[in-house]
Amino acid sequence: MPAARRAVLRLTHGLVWVLAIAIVLFAVSPLRAADDRLPDAALVRLLQEGRVAAPGACAQSGIDRLIRILCAGRIRIGVRDRYPLFGTRKGEIRQGYEVDVARAIAQKFGVDVEFVTVNAASRIPMVTDDRVDLVIATMGHNAQRDGAVLFIRPHYYQSETTLVAPRGLAVADWPDIAGQTVCVTVGNGSNAEIVSRGARLMLFDEAVLLPDRLRDQTCTLAAQDDSFFASYFTEPRFADRFTQKFGFAQVPWGMAVARDGSERLARALDLLGQIFHRDGVFLDFARANRISTGFLERQTAIWQRPECNTDAGSTNPACILPALSARLQPTSFAEHIAAFESRFAAWTGIDLALPMLKTTSAWSLFQNGVVNSLVLIAGALAATLVVGLAFGVALGSRFRLVRWPVRGLTIALQSSPIVLTLVIAAAVIRPMFAYSSAVALIAAIAALGLSNGSNAGQAISEAIVTLRAERSTSPMPGMELFSRALGRSATQIVAFLINAAKGTPIASFIGAPELLSALTDIASFSSGRVTIYSLLLIFYTAVVMVVVWICGRFRAFLERSHPPI
Amino acid sequence: MNPLFDRLSSDFLPRFLGGVVVNFEIAGIAIALGLACGLLLAVARLYGGVVGAGAAGVIALMRAAPTFVVMFFLLNAIPRDASLFGVPLALSGIMAVALSLLPYAAAYIADAGVDALEQLRRGSPLGSLLFLPNVTRAFFVLVMSSSAGAAIGVPEGIAIILRQAEQLPSLGDKLLLFAVGIVFFGIPLQAGFAIMTLFQRRLSRAVMRDRAAPRQSA
């Protein structure tokens, strides 16, 4: 082969190789660009920059916490130590979902982890006072907390308030709990929602009491964070008896760092959170610790989507969840009330709290409670009087067919504790009408009227019998006999009218939205229980004293109009 | 056998009877405390003057205080960790119900006590003995009123019935169970009232004879 031809062939081969390499490079370059935009690459860059800066910057003041952590070779993480399945401690051994997450973060940063125990009250101060670098401590992310600490996005878990009840209880959704008693803890943010659905609340100070009260049947329904009940549902005996009926009020949980000096640390944790969701790391930890995985499964799918799986994913509103807005709407005069509370405390040294006047939802409950209480008292008085007169006529009748059934009913009503009479009235009236506040009020008025009216009626009938006996030689006409019997039994009638008025607060037991019920609801989501119940006692005692005064005038009228013989 | 009894849990009866015992326990505490407070108030009221007026005011307030509200006040106004000279003040459910019945019991016993003391002053010891059936009557009213404890989770008789009723599917079964509860509460109550009425009548006759005897002898 001539030398010139060989040279042409070599040149051709060379050009082919160059062309092939160029084609390959051209084909691969978009992938490299895409890889550069993945959270993984951004995290590697961030950590590399930190490690490069670390030796020189370690002694400087005001450095970002990420650099400080890399300098120290350890990260201080605040975790719970008595929150089953999420953060527990036996001796030096810590376990739980959040503990696993903390260890994984430290491993990714290439540093040691130093656990610091925090609780619900101390977790935010520990971060803001720089006693921990990061908290992973069952903390719900709400708008109010955004002002105190910097929350990491995406959220690493989500809890919800769950309604737990015996398996056999027919409760599937909100309509089924109207009128039922739900056991809750004071101050739980979701209590307001339960109240708005027509349930009545039984308040407890601590969540740990709820499972026991379910077991001993004090509570039929209990509402609490599902993360709290998670450990109980790992107990076969508890899980066999109870089940989660439905959940509501979802709250995303966030890791948090200090707002100042944590920009790079927060960025690194944002990226790490994305990676952990995308790769199912959070999910694996959740399964290992036997906690609910529904939220994490959905998050894994979200963070695998191309538009979320980027270094900007943690700021993409389509990928992240908003903070919960738990702030209650203040009333127009809330500031004046707060100022009055402060002045009162300064004058007297007594902490007066008037939460019923400070938020619109509490103010509305309070107003309705006062009006409903007055309606209930008026209704109970009227019902007692009507039932008393009717029973009096029937029991005083000469006809056995009229007298005996009413006597039987009177004995039954006298033998039934008022709580039971109320429940029976509510049980009978509910199948006829859909539950509403008005239905509960009507049932309560009927029960109080029957219970007290039957006694008043018996007093009237006894007066009729004695009058008949005294006037056996010259019988009186029916109306005259009845009116004189009223005069003779006036004291008893008035006593049972007062009793009916005093008994009205018990209507809250069947969900009647009177003042006791309203203030219990307000106390469940606000502070100031002492003031609330003191005011309640003053209100009802004052109202009953007014009723006593009115009834005294009524008795005087009866005795004047129908003087006893 | 009635289908209702098949649907009731096997331990219902012992738990219900245990609950009724709690009702009597609450009433017993309330009447004991009511006797102490009520008799003091009765003596103070008969003392007259400012003391008597003050006692009358306290009795009027106690008479007007609704039991149910007092119960919630006691439960919520006293902090769980409150103590006095190292003695914990937090109330159990049973004590909260018993103390909520105290205003009624004390006011009732104060009124009955005033009557009894006046009878004694008039020289009628038998008349003053009418105080006893009145106190017994108040005790039975307290037994019935103690069912308010169901609202705060006290395991008294009505609470046990209501819990059982929530497990029953039909309204008919529930009403039947409620009727059983009324019978169980009604029998001791009606029997107690009947015995007290009988006792009171005999005592009244004895009082009348007692009053008539001096006149005859005079």
Task: Find where tokens 């008693």 sit.
Answer: A181
Structure-token pair, residue A493: 């009638």
- Residue A279 CB contacts under 8 Å (≥ 6 apart), including other chains: none
Asked if B181 is an interface residue toward chain A (Cβ–Cβ < 8 A), one would say yes
A337, A358 Cβ separation under 8 angstroms: yes
Inter-chain residue contact A412 with B61, CB threshold 8 Å: no
With contacts defined as CB-CB under 8 Å, which chain A residues touch B145? Answer: 417-418
Please indicate whether residue B92 or residue A195 has the higher confidence score (pLDDT): B92
Q: What is the CB neighbour count within 10 angstroms for residue A43?
A: 21
Q: What is the mean pLDDT of chain B?
A: 85
Indicate whether A320 pLDDT > 50: yes
Looking at residue A558, its amino acid is L
Can A160-250 and A356-561 be said to share one CATH topology? no
pLDDT, residue B82, reads: 66
Chain B positions in Cβ-Cβ contact with residue A505 (cut-off 8 Å): 66, 68-69
More confident position, A356 or B126: A356
Band (pLDDT 50/70/90 cuts) for residue B214 is low
Residue A407: its chain B contacts at CB < 8 A? none
| CA A19 and chain centroid, separation | 68
**Residue A299 confidence (pLDDT) above 60:** yes
Q: Tell me how far apart the alpha carbons of residues A95 and A67 are, in angstroms, rounded to a whole number.
A: 28
Chain A: give the shortest CA distance to residue B209, in Å. Answer: 22
pLDDT tens-place string over residues B54-82:
999 999 999 999 999 999 898 887 766 66
What would the two tokens of residue B42 be?
């009765």
Q: How many CB pairs under 8 A join A and B?
A: 131
Would you place residue A272 in the very low, low, confident or very high pLDDT band (cuts 50, 70, 90)?
A: very high
Interface test with B, best of A177, A414, A419 (most B CBs within 10 A): A419
Residue B177, pLDDT score: 92
Note whether A417 contacts B185, CB cutoff 8 Å. Answer: yes
Per-residue pLDDT averaged across A10-22, rounded? 72
pLDDT at A100: 97
Tokens of A554: 């009524």
pLDDT at residue A34 is higher than 80? no
The whole-angstrom separation of Cα A294 and Cα A185 is: 25
Which residue among B66, B167, B190 places its CB closest to the CB of A505?
B66
The least confident of A125-134, A472-481, B33-42 is A472-481
CA of B185, closest CA in chain A: separation in Å? 6
Give A115's contacts (C-beta < 8 A, 6+ positions apart).
A77, A78, A79, A94, A99, A102
Other beta carbons within 10 Å of A363:
21
- Distance, in Å, from the CA atom of A11 to the CA atom of A28, rounded to the nearest integer, reads 26
Cα–Cα distance between B26 and B38 in angstroms, integer? 17
| Cα distances (angstroms) measured from residue B204 to each of B129, B209, B213 | 9, 9, 14
Residue count (chain A)? 565
For A499-517, what is each residue's pLDDT tens digit?
Answer: 999 999 999 888 788 899 8
The distance of Cα B173 from the centroid of its chain, to the nearest Å, equals 30
Cβ-contact B144, A452 below 8 angstroms:
no
| Cβ–Cβ < 8 Å for A523, A529 | yes
Say what the pLDDT of residue A505 is.
Answer: 92
Output the pLDDT for position B201.
77
| pTM for the predicted model, two decimal places | 0.70
Residue A218 has pLDDT above 90, yes or no: no
- In CATH, which of 2.60.40.10, 3.40.190.10, 3.20.20.70, 3.90.105.10 is domain A40-156+254-315? 3.40.190.10
Hey, what amino acid is at B50?
A: V
Contact list, B185 vs chain A (CB under 8 Å): 415-417, 420
User: Domain A160-250 - what CATH class?
Assistant: alpha beta
Contacts of B82 in chain A (CB under 8 A): none
Q: What contacts A52, CB < 8 A, 6 or more positions away?
A: none
Closest partner CB to A537 (pick from B65, B148, B182): B65
Percent of chain B as helix, strand, coil, to the nearest 5? 85, 0, 15
pLDDT of residue B218: 42
| Cα gap A58→B111, rounded to integer Å | 83
Burial B10-39 (b: 16+ CB within 10 A, else e): eebeebbeebbebbbbbbebbbebbbebbb
Residue A32 has pLDDT above 60, yes or no: no
User: In the predicted model, what is the mean pLDDT of residues A533-543?
Assistant: 92
Is the Cβ pair A534, B77 closer than 8 Å? yes
Residues of B in contact with A412 (CB under 8 A): 182, 186
Closest-CA residue of chain B to A213: B153
Token pair for A349: 């040294």
Report the pLDDT value the prediction gives residue A289, as an integer from 0 to 100: 93
3-state secondary structure of B82: coil
- At A395-424, the pLDDT tens digits run 988 888 999 999 999 999 989 999 999 999
Query: pLDDT per residue over B160-192, tens digit each?
Result: 998 888 778 788 889 999 999 999 888 888 888
Rounded CA-CA distance A491/A456 in Å is: 10
| For chain A, domain boundaries | 3-36, 40-156+254-315, 160-250, 356-561
| Mean pLDDT score, A90-105 | 94
- Percent of chain A at pLDDT exceeding 70: 95
Substitution target in A185, A205, A209, A506 with the highest count of B β-carbons within 10 Å is A506
Helix H or strand E encompassing A166: strand A157-166
Closest CA to A94 of A127, A123, A116: A116
ipTM, 2 decimals?
Answer: 0.87
Query: Residue B143 burial (CB < 10 Å; 0-12/13-18/19+)?
Result: buried
Q: Give domain A356-561's CATH superfamily.
A: MetI-like (1.10.3720.10)
Q: Å from B216 to nearest chain A CA?
A: 26
Q: Where is A300: in which H helix or E strand?
A: helix A294-303
DSSP state of A162: E
Average pLDDT, chain A: 87
pLDDT at A200: 76
**DSSP β-bridge partners for residue A151:** A256
d(CA A530, CA B78): 8
As given in the structure block, the two tokens for residue B29 are 């505490």
Burial of B217 (C-beta count, 10 Å sphere; 0-12/13-18/19+): exposed
d(CA B164, CA A109): 57
Domains by residue range for chain B, with CATH: 13-79+92-155 (1.10.3720.10)
Of B77, B165, B182, the CB nearest to A416: B182
- By the 8 A CB rule, do B19 and A417 touch? no
Lowest mean pLDDT among A14-18, A57-61, B166-170: A14-18
User: A322-352: per-residue pLDDT in tens?
Assistant: 888 766 788 999 999 999 999 999 999 888 8
Task: Give CA angle at B208 (B203, B214), nearest 5°.
Answer: 125
- DSSP-derived secondary structure for A103-133: HHHHHHHTSEEEEEE--TTTHHHHHHTTS-S
Confidence class for position A207, pLDDT limits 50, 70, 90: confident
Rounded to the nearest angstrom, the minimum Cα separation between A173 and chain B is 17
At A68, is the pLDDT very low, low, confident or very high (cuts 50, 70, 90)?
very high
Q: How confident is the model at residue B217 (pLDDT cuts 50, 70, 90)?
A: very low
Q: What is the pLDDT of residue B182?
A: 93
Structure confidence at residue A562 as a pLDDT band (50, 70, 90): low
Contact A199, A178 (CB under 8 A): yes
Which residues pair with residue A224 across a beta bridge?
Answer: A162
Q: Among A18-22, A313-317, A512-516, B117-121, whose mean pLDDT is lowest? A: A18-22
Tell me if chain A has a CB within 8 Å of the CB of B22. no
Interface test with B, best of A167, A201, A416 (most B CBs within 10 A): A416
Using DSSP's 3-state secondary structure scheme, residue A17 falls into: helix
Which of B147, B155, B178 lies closest to A424 in CB terms?
B178
Looking at the complex, report in whole angstroms how far the Cα of residue B49 sits from the nearest Cα belonging to chain A: 23
Q: What is the DSSP letter of A359?
A: B
What is the amino acid identity at position B209? R
| Contact between B69 and A415 using a beta-carbon 8 Å cutoff | no
SS3 content of chain A, % helix, strand, coil (to 5): 60, 15, 25
| The amino acid at A395 | L
Separation in Å, CA of B71 to nearest CA in chain A = 10
% of residues, chain A, pLDDT over 90:
49
Pair A40, A313: CB distance under 8 Å: no
Q: Is the pLDDT of residue B104 over 90?
A: yes
